[in-house]
Chain A
Amino acid sequence: MLNYNQALTEEKIYPHLQIKEIKPIMKLIIRGRKREFLSASGKTLNMLLPTKANTFTQNDKLTALWLSIDEWMIFSNETQNKETNIYEIEKLLNKNISKLNLGAITDVTDQFVMINLKGDKIYDLFQTGSPYNFDIFQSKKGVVIQTILAKVDVIVQNQKKNEVNLFVRRSFAQHLFSWMNDSASRL
């Protein structure tokens, strides 16, 4: 990461909810529509990009979130070295996709903050500020959605039961974090 600053300086623990930033996580947005793009990205990432709406795929190193019919977010499952913003997988994707005009790769590591939420009150918290109905989402495996939470654009990934990863733009992260703390304190 370049000029690395921690967006959220603390971890919050409530009786049924734990909120903390996971850092530094590599995040890439990859875009493309061609059939060749899907096969090249599959070979490079060693996993297929999810083509079904609102789902994600995962291997031992990376997770690919469906964002749109031609857009995915790739993030590393493990934290990365914070002294560098050079990632081997980005180089490979650039070589196999961008250079061949099959699609576009954008490094959004510093643009998005990943917040991990654990506990059985996650969806009670979301319910206080999101128009999305999380009833089906919380019991379904391998799902991801983009919606709004406290009027902020977020990507929510159902990692496992009672654990979600939430991606928010860095400039909104502190505001959202303080809103979540305020809301969580009254659950």
Chain B
Amino acid sequence: MFIINCPFCGKRDQSEFKAGGEAHIIRPKQPTELSDDEWAEYLFMRKNIKGVQFERWNHVHGCRKWFNIVRDTSNDEIKTVYKMGEDPPKL
């Protein structure tokens, strides 16, 4: 269990949020031009690393807004939180 600082509501317990997977994955502009492997790469393949990861989260039991966090998956330490559309911080 850990505390997430929602950029809209403030500090809340993790149980109020839902993880939305890896952040900053860009949808291909022309999916029809991709091979099956390339499409599967975009659709399914995620890094899931042990260490610092950029993730999307949703405050599902609060303001219902999406935002990004930078989290160390090895110890759940949250490095920073930033809104959708903002550039990822340089670490």
Residues A110-149 near B (CB distance < 8 A): 131-132, 145-148
The answer, yes or no, to whether B71 is at the interface (CB within 8 Å) is no
Q: Is there contact, CB below 8 Å, between A148 and B9?
A: no
Chain A residues within an 8 Å CB radius of B63:
53, 67-69, 71, 146
List, in ascending order, chain A residues with CB within 8 A of B16's CB: 131-132, 147-148
A residues 32-73 touching B (CB-CB < 8 Å): 53-54, 67-69, 71
Residue of A53, A68, A153 touching B10 (CB-CB under 8 A): A53
What is the interface of chain A, defined by CB distance below 8 A to chain B?
A: 53-54, 67-69, 71, 131-132, 145-148, 153
Nearest A residue to B61 via CB reads A148
Across-interface contacts of B12 in A (CB, < 8 A): 131-132, 147
Given A67-B63, A69-B63, A147-B61: A131 and B10 within 8 A (CB)? no
Interface residues of B toward A: which range?
10 to 19
CB distance from A77 to the nearest CB of B (A): 24
Question: Which residues does chain A contribute within 8 Å of B15, judged by CB atoms?
Answer: 131, 148
Interface of B is mostly: loop
CA distance A131 to B10 in the complex (A): 14
Which chain B residue has the least Cβ–Cβ distance from A130?
A: B13
Cα(A148)–Cα(B15), bound, Å: 9
Residue interface mask B70-82, A partner, CB < 8 A = 1:
0000000000000
What residues on B are CB-neighbors of A148 within 8 Å? 15-16, 61
List the A residue with the shortest CB-CB distance to B63.
A68
Return the chain B residue nearest A151 by Cβ: B15
Q: Which residues of chain A are near B62, meaning CB under 8 Å?
A: 145-147
